[in-house]
Amino acid sequence: MIIEKQLSYNIVANNENTIQDIVFKIHSKSINSMHIVHRATIQQLTEKRYGNACTKTRSQVKGGGRKPWKQKGTGKARAGSTRSPLWKGGGVIFGPKTKKYTQKINKKEKHLALRIVLVNKFKNTTVIDNFIEDLSKPSTQTIVKQVMQLGLEIKNKNRIAIIVDKKARNLYLSVRNLKNINLIAADQLNILSLLEADQLVVTKNGLNQIAKLYGFIR
């Protein structure tokens, strides 16, 4: 069974509030169920892993081509190469190799997880008409003032995700050194960024793009 959940966002623009309705098309059993969100989170965390650990086998370690000593008559244990795994500086037996970590998740499941999180963060979402995307030059101070005008605090550990339709260069440069503010383009929306954020700030164009990309109904 599929139900439609309607949410009305107040859009802040020049001290005037307008209302925009977006209908979320969600399976009725999925609204309070987090297993889809869990699957999407595990998938993203898995693909973030770096499989860079790599060791060399005895055939890849430099040197060791000559037999260290003759087979018999020395009283020592027999040895055929200085690069044996038994020797210091030798190869590694069954060591790690570079690999790519992947986990499959269906596109519809991923979009459903994003919709569930957005519905659950509705009370902590602020929609604005425009988030100073026309900066003439990078200015972190301007960003801080804009965020504080929205009634959000930056100094504490409160994490803020700003979602725009497109990342402007000067806006990105202004935000990148603010540790608890994350700038996200609507087409790069991901489950981890939404879960880590305590507050969401979404531009009107960003909200429209989210509705278009992730299966919402307008």
Query: For 186-209, what is each residue's pLDDT tens digit?
Result: 999 999 999 999 999 998 888 888
Residue 60 confidence (pLDDT) above 70: yes
- pLDDT higher for 95 or 14? 95
Contacts of 26 (CB under 8 A, 6+ apart): 2, 3, 4, 5, 112, 115, 116, 119
- Sheet of 160-164, strands arranged across: 16-27, 2-13, 125-128, 199-203, 160-164, 181-185
Integer Cα distance of 154 and 158 in angstroms: 7
| Residues 76-90, mean pLDDT to the nearest whole number | 92
Contact 80, 61 (CB under 8 A): no
Residue 26 is predicted with a pLDDT of 56
Residue 130 confidence (pLDDT) above 90: no
| Residues 65-89, mean pLDDT to the nearest whole number | 92
Mean pLDDT of the chain: 85
Query: For 141-152, what is each residue's pLDDT tens digit?
Result: 988 888 888 888
Contact 160, 199 (CB under 8 A): yes
Residue 5 confidence (pLDDT) above 80: no
Percent of the chain whose predicted confidence (pLDDT) is above 70: 84
Domain ranges of the chain: 2-49+105-214, 51-100
Q: Among 19-33, 126-140, 150-164, which stretch is predicted with the lowest mean pLDDT? A: 19-33
Q: Which two tokens stand for residue 59?
A: 């055939």
Closest CA to 42 of 101, 123, 124: 101
Residue 10 is predicted with a pLDDT of 67
Residue 102 is predicted with a pLDDT of 92
- Outline where 34-165 has alpha helix (H): 35-48, 107-120, 140-149
Structure confidence at residue 1 as a pLDDT band (50, 70, 90): very low
Per CATH, which fold does 2-49+105-214 belong to?
Ribosomal Protein L4; Chain: A; (3.40.1370)
- Outline where the chain has alpha helix (H): 35-48, 107-120, 140-149, 169-175, 191-196, 204-213
Query: For 149-167, what is each residue's pLDDT tens digit?
Result: 888 888 778 899 999 998 8
Residue 134 is predicted with a pLDDT of 74
